[in-house]
Amino acid sequence: MQIILHNDDTLHGFEAGQAFAEEVLEAALHGMGERLTRVDVWVSDENGPKGGPENKKCSIEAHPRGRKPVGVTAHGADIPAAIRAAAKKLARVLEKDLAPAHRK
């Protein structure tokens, strides 16, 4: 599974973002990684310098082998919180989507 982090130009100071996103997603998707070809992670600051609560956004799109991409979005007070929230959402969606047909 390849994990690619994208960020907008308003975000600064999150140089460790790629490693952090990989760590969080690998933990959240325990056991599902081999069924995914790629995971794209987009992080952004919706309010820019104005700030505000829960103004950091993380959207994740996972590409399961032989299936349509699955996407989720979450917000947080900071980028790490938004990534964690989106990773949890993605894990729930993929657990349902990738479950064997007899378990659905």
pLDDT tens profile 64-101:
999 999 999 999 998 899 999 999 999 999 998 877 64
**For residue 52, which amino acid is it?**
G
Give the pLDDT confidence of 19-65 residue by residue, as tens digits. 999 999 999 998 888 899 999 999 988 776 676 677 899 999 999 99
Two structure tokens written together for 98? 């990738």
Tell me how far apart the alpha carbons of residues 20 and 2 are, in angstroms, rounded to a whole number: 14
For residue 103, the model assigns a pLDDT of: 47
**For residue 2, which amino acid is it?**
Q
- Name the residue ranges covered by the structural domains of the chain: 2-36+43-80
For residue 46, the model assigns a pLDDT of: 79
pTM for the structure as a whole: 0.86
